[in-house]
């Protein structure tokens, strides 16, 4: 039986680039379909085709031509507006059902995409399955370690994210001194941290260095890691430092760390801890 290439459907950020490089290094045949307006220019140059996110006909047609052994949806895309999604999906599926699926939030939209691909006979795999080295292991740590207060903040953050699991929001939160400063919405982690930085700057007589606090990022209970796994990288660490945080805790086995060496080096240089924690609601980390 002939084995086809691996197809990467690529959104924004460094993750698709790193996945592509990893697969190429291992000699794997790869085809990249880059989403216009999302994929980085480097990736668009290396891509085999570029397509609009909502042009499902072209996407499906291209995949039919490639006959991939597996398809991976990698990189960020912003959730398009409701009506744009509606008209795109309605080309392919029963209107009522489409409306049901996409009105239920990000998770459901992504599940809808996976469902469509699987109905066409494609096998959908996560980047973490194709390149486990990109994922935070449970031994990941920088030079600095979380102190007692940080560990308490991490506990509160994990409890908070667990109770938000039902609501299709909240891969991230910031907790300082047992006080929840922010919960991540569709705006993303970096904007959430900038929000906290601004709040702190506007507060009375505050010297930021005294503030501390922890960014907690973790996959939700029941989250499909194949399409929506939390990701951090050097930029995350820099924004965390700017927001006056003392460190970052991420879910072991279920978080991508871009440029892992560089990310840890920056954390060390800026004096932040970076630690991976077991998520009580996840199956054991992938080996």
Does 70 bind a second copy (CB under 8 A)? Our answer is no
Part of the chain binding a second copy (CB under 8 A), chosen from 8-16, 121-129, 206-214, 274-282: 206-214
Does 82 bind a second copy (CB under 8 A)? Our answer is yes
Least distance from a second copy to the Cβ atom of residue 100, Å: 10
The HSE-up count of residue 77 (CA atoms within 13 Å, CB side) is 24
Among 187, 222, 262, 269, binds a second copy (CB under 8 A): 187
* CA–CA separation, 282 and 133 (whole Å): 19
Among 185, 262, 269, 271, binds a second copy (CB under 8 A): 185
Least distance from a second copy to the Cβ atom of residue 178, Å: 5
Taking CB under 8 A as the criterion, which residues in 141-180 touch a second copy? 156, 159-160, 163-164, 166-170, 176-180
Among 57, 104, 145, 269, binds a second copy (CB under 8 A): 104
The answer to whether the Cα torsion of 256, 261, 267, 271 is positive or negative is positive
Q: Under rule CB under 8 A, how many of the chain's residues touch a second copy?
A: 47
Does 195 bind a second copy (CB under 8 A)? Our answer is yes
Among 1, 83, 148, 261, binds a second copy (CB under 8 A): 83
In the chain, how long is the greatest CA-to-CA distance? 69
Least distance from a second copy to the Cβ atom of residue 191, Å: 8
Among 64, 145, 206, 262, binds a second copy (CB under 8 A): 206
Does 274 bind a second copy (CB under 8 A)? Our answer is no
Query: Which of residues 25 and 96 has its CB atom nearest to a second copy in the complex?
Result: 96
Query: Which of residues 6 and 240 has its CB atom nearest to a second copy in the complex?
Result: 240
Binding site for a second copy (CB under 8 A): 37, 53, 78-84, 102-106, 156, 159-160, 163-164, 166-170, 176-183, 185-187, 191, 195, 199-200, 202-207, 210-211
């Amino acid at each position: 039986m002939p084995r086809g290439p691996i197809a990467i459907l690529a959104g924004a950020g460094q993750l698709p680039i790193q996945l592509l490089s990893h697969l190429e290094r291992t000699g794997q045949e790869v085809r990249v379909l880059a989403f216009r307006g999302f994929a980085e220019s480097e990736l668009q140059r290396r891509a085999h085709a570029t397509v609009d996110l909502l042009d499902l006909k072209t996407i499906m047609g291209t995949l039919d031509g490639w006959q991939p052994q597996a398809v991976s949806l990698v990189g960020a895309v912003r959730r398009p507006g409701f009506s744009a999604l509606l008209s795109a999906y309605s080309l392919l599926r029963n209107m009522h059902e489409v409306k049901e699926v996409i009105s239920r939030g990000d998770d459901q939209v992504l599940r809808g995409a996976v469902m469509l691909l699987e109905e066409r006979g494609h096998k959908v795999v996560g980047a973490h399955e194709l390149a486990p080295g990109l994922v935070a292991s449970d031994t990941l740590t920088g030079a600095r370690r979380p102190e007692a207060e940080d560990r308490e903040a991490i506990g509160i953050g994990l409890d908070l994210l667990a109770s938000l699991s039902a609501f299709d929001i909240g891969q991230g939160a910031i907790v300082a001194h047992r006080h929840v400063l922010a919960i991540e919405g569709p705006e993303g982690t970096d904007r959430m941290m900038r929000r906290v930085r601004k709040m702190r700057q506007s507060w009375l007589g505050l010297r930021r260095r005294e503030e501390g606090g922890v960014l907690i990022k973790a996959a939700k209970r029941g989250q499909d890691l194949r399409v929506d796994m939390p990701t951090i990288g050097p930029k995350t660490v820099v924004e965390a430092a700017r927001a006056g945080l003392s460190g970052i805790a991420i879910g072991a086995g279920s978080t991508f760390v871009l440029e892992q060496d560089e990310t840890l080096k920056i954390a060390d240089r800026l004096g932040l801890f970076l630690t991976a924690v077991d998520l009580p609601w996840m199956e054991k980390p992938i080996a």
